[in-house]
Amino acid sequence: MQPSFWHERWERAEIGFHQQDPNALLAQFWSRLALPTGQRVLVPLCGKSLDLLWLAGEGHPVTGVELSQVAVEAFFQEQGLCPTRRGSGAIEVWEVDEIRILCGDFFDLAPHQVADCAAVYDRAALIALPPPMRERYARQLDAILPPAIQMLLVTLEYDQGLRPGPPFAVDEAQVRALYEPAYAVEILYSRDALAENSAWRAQGLTWLHEKVYRLARRGP
C-alpha cells in the first residue's frame, strides 16, 4: 500500500472510515488508562478525527499524525481553528492550543517529535495497514516512543476472505504477535458489531467483532 492510496482517498473524499462523532469506545474506555490530566496523547493516522477534540476536552494535549494535507486542512477548517505552521522537509507541524498535527509520513517520524507523549490512541491506524506494514508500524512505534507508554487500541475481526481491506481484520493473535513481550496486552472489551454495518452484511459477512485493548509497555 503506497502513500498515493491515501492521498487519492482524501482528494476524492472517499472517507467512509471518518466518524461524524467522537468514537463511543474511546469515551467508554479511555479512563482505563488512568492517564493524568495534562499528559500528551499520540494519535497515529488521525485523519480529521473528532477524537482529537474529545481527548483535548478531557485535558490531554494531543499530537495527531496524518499523511494527507487535505485531511489536516479539513480538520482545522471544519473546527474553525487557525493553526500555526512550522517546519520543512518530511514533517510539517500544524498547531493551535492543545492540538498538534504532524503532517507527513508516520514512518518518517523521529523520537524527538513524540518524546512528550505518554499514551497512544489507535482506532484507525493498525487496521488501516496490510500485514507487512503492520509489522513495520509496530516497530516504528517501538523505536520512537518513550519508555513508559501505554495504548488504547481498537481493532476489527472478520473473515478477511470475504472483504478486502482497509479496514483490515486484526485478531488477538496478531495483536499479541506484534506487541508482546514488549507490552502487556489486556482485552478490555469485545462486541458483535455486524448489526450496525449493513454494507458489510451485504458483502456476505456473517460476523464482525470489535475489540478494545489496553497495552502497557513493560519495564526493562
Contacts with 77 (C-beta within 8 Å, 6 or more apart), sequence order: none
In angstroms, the CA 97 to CA 69 distance is 19
45 labeled part of a ligand binding site = yes
Decide: helix, strand or coil at residue 118.
strand
With vertex at residue 189, the alpha carbon angle to CA 148 and CA 48, rounded to the nearest 5 degrees, is 70
DSSP readout, 7-27? HHHHHTT--TT--SS--HHHH
196 labeled part of a ligand binding site = no
176 labeled part of a ligand binding site = no
156 labeled part of a ligand binding site = no
* Structural element, H or E, at residue 186: strand 183-192
Q: Which residue ranges make up the annotated binding site for S-adenosyl-L-methionine?
A: 10, 45, 66, 123
Q: Which residue ranges make up the annotated binding site?
A: 10, 45, 66, 123
